[in-house]
Amino acid sequence: METPLTLRVDGEDRMLTVDTRTTILDALRDRLGIMAAKKGCDHGQCGACTVLLDGRRALTCLLLAVAHEGAHILTAAGLAEDDHLHPMQQAFLDHDGLQCGYCTPGQICSAVAMLDEFAAGHPSAVTCGQDGPTELTTEEIRERMSGNLCRCGAYDGIVAAVRQVAAR
């Protein structure tokens, strides 16, 4: 069964018709031609499909598009403003936080949301049992980014990029 749907993607309302079983990832890639979110495992285990959904990181391969009518979806491509890269995008370049680049859009979206979560005092497995995180240590960054895998192993650059943006 097909149903009409409007998704707000990178600040633009996009109307489409989808099968009710279509994931946000497939709607973005197959119906709207937006390739910033990548299809990795298609099981919510690798993080390549991570975007910001209403300001929170989300695995789009697990979410049905029809359940998110009117939601604001921000991809890594939508983070840049005009000709200026988002600070996290620039930091990934500055610190070689990528090799093949396949996981990079999901890593960047996750890193942006992770810093917001940290600033809001959301606990992690590292800070469990405490009042909230007080310092963004390497261990803390690695734990909070653990849902995003990089087959190339660019983790040191990713951590350095997150540190650079966190220091701003």
Q: Which of 99-108, 124-133, 143-152 has the lowest mean pLDDT?
A: 124-133
What kind of fold does domain 2-78 have according to CATH? Ubiquitin-like (UB roll) (3.10.20)
Per-chain mean pLDDT for the chain: 94
For residue range 39-95, what is the model confidence (pLDDT) as tens digits?
999 999 999 999 999 999 999 999 999 999 999 999 999 999 988 999 999 999 999
Output the CA–CA distances (angstroms, integers) from residue 44 to 58, 91, 104, in the order listed: 9, 26, 16
pLDDT for 144: 95
d(CA 114, CA 145): 7
Pick 87-166's CATH classification: 3.60.15.10, 1.10.150.120, 3.40.50.720, 1.10.3720.10. Answer: 1.10.150.120
Q: Give the SS3 label for residue 57.
A: strand
d(CA 56, CA 58): 6
Q: Mean of the pLDDT values across residues 91-102?
A: 96
Output the CA–CA distances (angstroms, integers) from residue 39 to 50, 85, 116, 164, in the order listed: 10, 23, 25, 28
pLDDT for 134: 72
Q: Mean of the pLDDT values across residues 5-30?
A: 97
